[in-house]
Amino acid sequence: MANPQIAGTAEILRASQKDEEYMRYLRNLISDATQKCLGIPLWIKWKDFSSVFSDALFFSLTTLSGLQTLGEEYSNIIQVDRNLKSIPSKWVRFTDISLRTFGYYFLLKFQTWLENQLSSISPTECSDSDAYISTLKNYLPIIFRAITVLQRVHLIAFYLYGNYHDITKRLTGIKYLVIRRWLSLPNQQTPYRILGWIAASQLCLSLAINMYAASTKVSSAIVKEQENDGSEAVNSKNQCSLCFEKRSYSTATPCGHLFCWSCITSWMQTKEECPLCRETFPPSKLIFLQNYY
């Protein structure tokens, strides 16, 4: 019997892109049903969980049931364990699905909770650690942004070496085998390695720029935070039109409307349009406004 052939970067990427198409379609269906049943205000409150739930439903009906996803079937690949001898156990598949669908969602919730806890601490409660709390509040976005950098590093490793397209696959050791070898071309890996080196260069450059910008702006941000003292009233000028609270990490759309970064990026996951004027645009057109309040 011939040795099993590990799926290449092209096959795994095609499967992931095909799965994303079906997942996006399912998200839109559940999102529309939620809006009609619960109304817009409740949908805005639960839209993130709605997207996570639809993704979990998709993988539960396919991967967790021991079947190929539609993208894997399209690319003729199948999930196997670290030893390349059998499909992953149900527990391993459940862990992969749980981390992939709910991991980032709960991480964002934890970030929001931690920011609220730090904002609720009054100066009298932490008189001996004012400097520490203020520094932590300013560096907290940088700490959580490091997770995004980790995701980019992982994607670069995928382009260079293949095997793991998702971080959860690397953690659980799930790999892919090609079912029909004649569909796989070994020389397809070279263009993706070039893409990996380009992505690595871009990441290093952006990190250097961000580190330089952060070093010059942290001190001014601390002074501004002390001046505001967290007591600025929420009005129409600094209110997010999605959550109706004071904007955090203001982000502008191409049409000029301002929202919280987390609110507008969550909205763009289901509808690539402005919530106010309905102008369509891709998520890459969003502009994060640093030091804008």
* Each residue's pLDDT tens digit, 16-25: 999 999 998 9
CA distances (Å), origin 293, targets 61, 207, 283, 290: 44, 24, 22, 9
Least trusted range by pLDDT, from 39-48, 88-97, 228-237, 256-265: 228-237
pLDDT at 90: 92
pLDDT at 239: 77
Q: In which band, very low, low, confident or very high, does the pLDDT at 94 lie, cut at 50, 70 and 90? A: very high
- Rounded mean pLDDT, 124-132: 57
Q: Residue 246 corresponds to which tokens in the numbers above?
A: 């004071």
Q: In which band, very low, low, confident or very high, does the pLDDT at 59 lie, cut at 50, 70 and 90? A: very high
**Nearest one of 155, 45, 51 to 102, comparing CA atoms:** 51
Round to whole Å and give the CA distance between 160 and 189: 8
**Looking at the predicted structure, is the pLDDT value of residue 162 above 90?**
no
pLDDT at 56: 92
Please enumerate in sequence order all residues whose Cβ is within 8 A of that of 1, keeping only pairs 6 or more positions apart, or say none: none
Q: What are phi and psi of 257, to 5 degrees?
A: -85, 150
Least trusted range by pLDDT, from 93-97, 104-108, 230-234: 230-234
> At which residue do the structure tokens 């527990």 appear?
91
Q: What is the mean pLDDT of the chain?
A: 78
pLDDT at 230: 46
**Looking at the predicted structure, is the pLDDT value of residue 95 above 90?**
yes
CA distances (Å), origin 198, targets 10, 152, 157, 163, 188: 17, 12, 12, 19, 17
- Rounded mean pLDDT, 146-169: 86
